[in-house]
Amino acid sequence: MDLYEKKQLRYKYIFISVMISCIVAIVTSSVTYMYCSRGSGENFFSFIGKRNTTADASSDETISAISESLKSFRSVIDNYYIGDIDETKLLDGAIKGYVKGLEDEYSEYMTSEEWEEYQTAALGNYVGIGIYMGTDKDGNTIVSSPIKGSPAEKVGIKTEDIIVEVDGENVLGVDSSLIATKIKGEAGTKVHLKVARKSEYLEFDVTREEIKIYHVETEMKEGNIGYISLLTFDEGCAEELKNAIIDLEKRGAKKFILDLRYNGGGLVDEALKIANFFIPKGKDVLITVDSNGEKVVTKTEEDNITDAELVVLVNEYSASASEILVGALRDNGKAKLVGTKTFGKGVIQNVFSLLDGSVLKLTIAEYFTPKEIKINKEGLEPDFEVKLEKAEKEEDFVDTQLNKAIEILK
Question: Would you give the distance in Å from CA 13 to the centre of its chain?
Answer: 28
Does residue 345 carry a catalytic annotation? yes
Lowest pLDDT segment from 99-113, 189-203, 310-324: 99-113
How high is the pLDDT of residue 132? 85
Lowest pLDDT segment from 26-40, 48-62, 199-213, 269-283: 26-40
How high is the pLDDT of residue 56? 59
- Per the CB < 8 A criterion, the answer to whether 364 and 351 are in contact is no
Write out pLDDT tens, residues 92-102: 998 999 999 99
CA Rg value for the chain: 24
Of the candidates 161, 234, 331, 356, the residue annotated as catalytic is 331
Report residue 123's pLDDT band, with 50, 70 and 90 as the boundaries. low
How high is the pLDDT of residue 69? 86
Give the whole-number percent of the chain exceeding pLDDT 70: 84
* Of residues 87, 85, 72, 73, the one with CA closest to residue 10: 87
Averaged pLDDT, 235-245: 95
Q: pTM of the predicted model, to two decimals? A: 0.73
Write out pLDDT tens, residues 10-51: 444 444 444 444 333 333 333 333 333 333 333 333 333 334
Using DSSP's 3-state secondary structure scheme, residue 397 falls into coil
Q: What is the mean pLDDT of the chain?
A: 85
Averaged pLDDT, 340-347: 96
Of the candidates 12, 184, 255, 345, the residue annotated as catalytic is 345
Write out pLDDT tens, residues 144-199: 889 888 999 999 999 999 999 999 999 998 888 789 888 988 999 999 999 999 88
pLDDT at 82 over 90: yes
pLDDT at 342 over 60: yes
Does residue 56 carry a catalytic annotation? no
For 207-234, what is the HEC assignment? ECEEEECCCEEEEEECCCEEEEEECCEC
pLDDT at 228 over 60: yes
pLDDT at 53 over 80: no
Averaged pLDDT, 254-263: 97
Does residue 331 carry a catalytic annotation? yes
Distance linking the first and last C-alpha atoms of the chain: 68
Of the candidates 320, 356, 358, 361, the residue annotated as catalytic is 320
